[in-house]
Structure 1
Amino acid sequence: MVDGREVELDVLRIAHGGVAVAELGGRVVFVADTLPGERVLARITDDRHDRFWRAETLRVIEGSADRVPHIWADASLDRPPEQRAGGAEFGHIAPARQRTLKEEVLRDALGRIGGLPQDRIAALDPHVIAVPGRHDGLRSRTRVRLHVDRSGRVGPFAARSKRVVPVHDLPLAVESLQGLLPATAVGREVDLVAASSGSFAAGRRDARPPITERVGEREFRLEALGFWQVHPAAPAVLTAAVRAAVDPALLDPDADNLDLYGGVGLLAAALAGDADVRVTTVESDGAASAHAAANLADLPRARAVEARVDAFLAARQQERPGATVLLDPPRSGAGRDIVEAIVAARPAQIVYVACDPVALARDLGTFAAHGWQAVTLDAFDLFPNTHHLEAVARLVREE
């Protein structure tokens, strides 16, 4: 048993999930709060696995030139690991290096998980693009979920645990949320939300009226605690990215174009644009689907369907092939059954919006096995100071 043992580690590369990779005696060690090129003193926290161990950084012995003072004092190495706030696992890394590390994870996933050949990955040349906002990535979240411990104290969970860490500062939250941070609360969670129509704090069971978000000239109504992109620039960035990804030569306005996992209609509106395009947005959440119907009411050929995506695809009567299919699945991805159902519908092009590089790579691999290849792939740094990214890929069938 080596759990709790302190060791010196040379950090080799980055891994998915915001941790880095070192080796100890031929065994992989996933170590938090560091980055490639560093030598750190770390404590082994999990030695139960045959193939790998986990560790936490205690002190930097030889630092990287890309290490910066952590953007959140409550998550820095100055605190014991068990008292470090989670949610900013890249906060000690210079912003430009954060993006290159995310690119490395994306490229590795495409090859190792998706099975894409290296020449295909090279042709895609995926880069993680900075988005409008502060260079340091601070004040970049309009939604923050905090947790409440048994004593009523409020804060994020400690990294990789369910232990609440009380905090007095939320540097990633937009300014209007900072003043809403409560010291104590009842219940299990507190959501802080900054919407176009105002900012508020609410528990999960609080009954609040719907809110409004504005993207360009269009307004979107949604439930107060319903899903919406957290970065202030994200809705506009993804709207532009989807429009750029769609090949107009392959977009048939009269085809049975689809927006799967459509939420309140943001990307269906992007697909329709100002053109007379027929599009159906599919969403399993009843409230979100109802809002989508209202949000798209001014687009005469847009409609919203409340249904699970798998059930919808299995039951639909396709009127004509050659559709543009847009999908924005949850973090777990679409999965084999959904991919195969989309392929069976004989679309003209597929635009895939993803928030997890591993799930994206897995699904792109499944598409590739059915003759569909990604021809464009752009990624966006919509979650700065974390390991997360958002990606938009366009797929076409190989002739």
Structure 2
Amino acid sequence: MSLSTNPQFLDESNLRGWLEAQAAALGFDGLRITDTHLGLASERLNQWLAEGRHGHMEYMQRHADLRSNPELLVPGAVRVICVSMNYLPSETNFDTEWQRLEDPSQAVVSMYARGRDYHKVLRSRLQEFAELIEERIGKLGYRVFTDSAPLMEVELARKAGLGWRGKHTLLLNRESGSTFFLGEILVDVPLPIDQEIEEHCGTCTSCIDICPTKAITAPYQLDARRCISYLTIENPEAIPVEFRSAMGNRVYGCDDCQLICPWNKFAKRTELPDFAQRHGLGQASLLHLWSWTEAEFEKRHEGSAIRRIGYIRWRRNLAVAMGNALSNSAVAEIDKSAIRSALSDALTDADALVTEHIQWALKAYN
């Protein structure tokens, strides 16, 4: 590795100012640096995996050794540049989000997924950032990450001081609450590191109390197998019957623990157009999304994180929400009739997984 021809680069004051300016210019809202040591976090991860709380996310267990040691991902890495990027569009209103959750005819998609796939947005900007650093200091070993490899992103960001762990296990900070994405650049340059920050959750348990499926089993403990985000996104199989009613009208992810968190009252909105909602996903009804053909699903979710779950899981999730609407007394009979017809008509061509959920939904009404 050759360092910069400018020896002032590694001066801490010059370094921080330059890095923060570059990060801000690329759309990042926070930047902190930490080392690659994970300490007790690796033991906690292994215990969580041993308890089977990761559900069908076998990749987490398969690459547990890499998660525990970032240096295996980038040989010689000694530092992690951690960045955050806010994702809430300016039009997002939490009161409106709660109102939609209470309207059984509406389809609720998690706020982070309504715009462009964050993997695409962050990765290209992280790569550009890394190249700028290399231009400044000379050749270095590095690799960029954004939820794209076995890396304990939240723990590294916590260590770096980008925030503290909330009791829902998400990262929180004073400026953005928990409504931000994380990205990392592992480098083999011994940059000055930042310190952890103090936690500010106090005695609040709102996120634990609000969870529809009680997936937050204790402070800082999440059982993914119960989490609606896991059930509607990561889970490839049938949604367990015991959780279907609790899903309500959530068809992709769940934001309840974020909506209730006091710190998200202060969450800054993003100015990036990438995260603006597309195809009316912040106002769509269940029947509207159910009407999409597979070709329409693929086209409208092009460049979206939602596309990765595929049409079958999408229909599975919608069928459950439609069943919950049918069993809800607040839904008018004329609307229930339209939902029943839409579900029944789909049985002819539905695959086995979707068929089982449609049949459950229709029985929920009877």
Coarse TM-score class (shorter-chain normalised)? under 0.3
Higher strand proportion (structure 1 or 2): 1
Which structure is higher in RCO with an 8 Å CA cutoff and minimum separation 6? 2
